[in-house]
Amino acid sequence: MSSVSNVTVVGAGVIGLSSGYLLAKDGAQVTVVDSGAPRFGTSMANAGWISPSHVIPFAAPGMVSMGAKELLKRTGSFGFNFGAGPQLATWTAKFMASCTQQHVDYCVPALRELIDVSMDELDHLVNDHGLARTHQPLWYLFSSNDAAHHAEVEIETMTKYGIPVQEVSLDTARATEPIIKDSVKAVVELTGDYGVDPAELVNLLHSLCVRHGVTFKDGTVTSLNAHLQGVDVSTASGAWTSDYLVLAAGAWSRELAKMVGANLNVIAAKGHSVTIPNLANQPQRTLMLAEQRIATNALTSGLRLSTGYALTTPNDRSINDSAIDKLVLTASHVLDLPTELGDIDPWTGVRPSSPDGMPYIGALPNAPRIIAATGHGMLGTMMALGTGRLVADLVAGSATSRESLKFSPARP
């Protein structure tokens, strides 16, 4: 890539900003366009987990039966909105077909590589740009009748993939984190995992983009036209042509890919959270309420509780009050929460999810100057900077690894 290459990035979420930052750092002229204030702030208010232990794709053996059980439970974390239309069936069929050990073995090396690059870049933001992080490692809290067995399986699985893991005694756990109730029967530590405030990360990436000369435009991209020399981009307030375009529009990426006749199987997977302020017993680390499927993060603004994976439409912004009540009630079986919670700031966001649990990073098959950077599902915050690095290398025509080809949108 020559220093005059100009690149448009569609989407100012964590993926678009990471791509914009690293492209500009490499010398590209970058324009980031977003529909005003980033629409649902999926990147701003998620659980903020940086969890390198997540090298196993979401589509893995056992996930179909787990999903079915969650659907049947009153407090289940999985759901459907039939408004998502026919894509729901094609996405689900592809997801089910991907839940094999063979698929996991194929994906792990590529995900590990992407995560490693992301972690290095995040270290740089922590050490050189003051990004705050939790300094105590993540704990999984097991509280069901099968807690000991679940903890054992977690340790076995993590050990198999070379992830640093250890059991923590209940006495140590309760003495260190008084919020943990007696219902917790086993605690497992994932030593390399930590938490950040996702909004702080997004704001830092935005300021790094500005520092490296990235231009920001407000506007909804309404049409794309890809040709051999570049990509024509239109919004209500103007049109321009770029040498390359990075498609980082989160759960809306499928709609944009359709504009150039490409099929990107990204569905919106909605989750929700609350943030409880001023807890006297606020933990110092991220916690996973394992059987309840609730992720927590210790933020300056309070304790964030986050859950839910409902397949829906990208614009489904509804917050269900009873789901929020259930989230707090379910968490309070494991965590010592006060009865009066104050302003808990309910939030919802839509993950851009691929059916095989792998992000799409690479040129669209029929539009080689459009680089997809989407489909990160539950792990977009953690994988953002590795994605940005790969996008910048692809635009520059630099050598990329063999593993990274597994993220190609042209994969079968």
Ligand X SMILES: Cc1cc2nc3c(=O)[nH]c(=O)nc-3n(C[C@H](O)[C@H](O)[C@H](O)COP(=O)(O)OP(=O)(O)OC[C@H]3O[C@@H](n4cnc5c(N)ncnc54)[C@H](O)[C@@H]3O)c2cc1C
**Interface ranges with ligand X (CB under 6 A):** 10-16, 33-35, 38-39, 42-43, 46-49, 220-221, 248-252, 256, 271, 273, 295, 306, 349, 351-352, 374, 376, 378-382
Min dist CB 360 to ligand X, Å, is: 10
DSSP, collapsed to helix, strand or coil, labels residue 273 as: strand
User: Is 211:20 a contact under the CB 8 Å cutoff?
Assistant: no
Reported as half-sphere exposure (CB side, CA atoms, 13 A), residue 147 has a value of: 19
Length in residues, the chain: 412
Min dist CB 169 to ligand X, Å, is: 27
Nearer to ligand X, 35 or 408 (CB): 35
Nearer to ligand X, 251 or 335 (CB): 251
Nearer to ligand X, 295 or 344 (CB): 295
Cα-flanking dihedrals φ and ψ of residue 244, to 5°? -135, 160
User: Is 343:277 a contact under the CB 8 Å cutoff?
Assistant: yes
| Residues 6+ away with beta carbon under 8 Å from 373 | 15, 16, 19, 246, 247, 248, 359, 360, 361, 387, 388, 391
Distance CA 75, CA 71 (A): 9
Nearer to ligand X, 230 or 271 (CB): 271
Min dist CB 102 to ligand X, Å, is: 25
Nearer to ligand X, 70 or 167 (CB): 70
Min dist CB 146 to ligand X, Å, is: 25
Strands (E), 219-293: 221-226, 231-235, 238-242, 244-247, 267-276, 287-289
Nearer to ligand X, 369 or 376 (CB): 376
Nearer to ligand X, 147 or 305 (CB): 305
Q: Read off the tokens for 230.
A: 């570049």
Cα-flanking dihedrals φ and ψ of residue 147, to 5°? -55, -45
Min dist CB 399 to ligand X, Å, is: 25
Nearer to ligand X, 337 or 382 (CB): 382
Min dist CB 182 to ligand X, Å, is: 27
Residue type, 176: T
Q: Read off the tokens for 170.
A: 């209940």
Nearer to ligand X, 49 or 142 (CB): 49
Min dist CB 134 to ligand X, Å, is: 12
User: Is 56:104 a contact under the CB 8 Å cutoff?
Assistant: yes
Nearer to ligand X, 147 or 286 (CB): 286
DSSP, collapsed to helix, strand or coil, labels residue 49 as: strand
Min dist CB 324 to ligand X, Å, is: 12
Q: What is the dihedral sign for C-alpha 229, 230, 235, 238?
A: negative
Q: At what angle do helices 198-211 and 101-129 cross, to 10 degrees?
A: 70
Min dist CB 3 to ligand X, Å, is: 26
Distance CA 290, CA 70 (A): 13
Reported as half-sphere exposure (CB side, CA atoms, 13 A), residue 358 has a value of: 29
Exposed/middle/buried for 332, CB within 10 Å: 0-12, 13-18, 19+? middle
Min dist CB 2 to ligand X, Å, is: 27
